[in-house]
Amino acid sequence: MANDILVTVVGNLTADPEIRTIPSGSTVVNFTVASTPSRYDSRSGQWEDGETTFLRCSAWNGQKRTLATNIVQSLSKGQRVVAQGYMNQHDYTGNDGVTRTSIELRVTAIGPDLSTQIAVCERNPKPQQQPQAAQQQSGYTGGFAGAARNRQQPQSQAGEESQEPWAAGATYGSGYGEEPEF
């Protein structure tokens, strides 16, 4: 993939992603992203849409990846997404005998556009059977502990203050960039 073109596209899914298994046993999902640029016209004071580009996309499950399955379970028609992948060009002969070219994005990463929506993510479940040696050698498992703020803190005895300065969870709105109330 050293000479392939890496592309990022932001747009809306035109339909629910369609998953299928090909004869070799591989799983692929196909979908289309519609991307419409817009610009502000200072003369009219209005936003104007440009021409919409429809980009066919595919994503595959691999040996350790479940990208195609995750897309079908997570994304649906109309959702605004950010997709990244490599451009592939295919030449084919149409029913009329004319050779045509189609361009497709082979997606390597995709997710919802968080500028217009929120998302709740969860990790894929770990495989049921792991060799004992692999369990002992496993290191960092990743993940985000954002939900940790909802867990219960150990209660202090009456009148006793916690000795741990970081034990108190943050409250919503106390993050960076929040304006103070006046």
Domain containing 43 equals: 6-123
Per-residue pLDDT tens over the stretch 126-167: 766 555 554 444 444 444 444 443 444 445 455 555 455 444
DSSP state of 76: -
- The verdict on residue 161 lying in a domain is no
Q: What is the pLDDT of residue 1?
A: 56
pLDDT at 6 over 60: yes
Neighbour-count burial of 41, counting CB atoms closer than 10 A to its CB (0-12 exposed, 13-18 middle, 19+ buried): exposed
Looking at the 3D structure of the chain, how many domains does it have? 1
DSSP state of 150: G
What CA–CA distance (Å, rounded) separates 63 from 45?
A: 52
CATH of the domain at 11: 2.40.50.140
Mean pLDDT over the full length of the chain: 79
Q: How far is CA 136 from the centre of its chain?
A: 31
- The verdict on residue 178 lying in a domain is no
Higher pLDDT, residue 157 or 45: 45
Q: What is the pLDDT of residue 122?
A: 83
CB atoms within 10 A of CB 10: 15
Q: Lowest mean pLDDT: which of 1-15, 101-115, 128-142?
A: 128-142
Helices (H), 24-176: 67-74, 132-137
- Token pair, residue 13, equals 């899914």
Closest CA to 110 of 181, 179, 8: 8
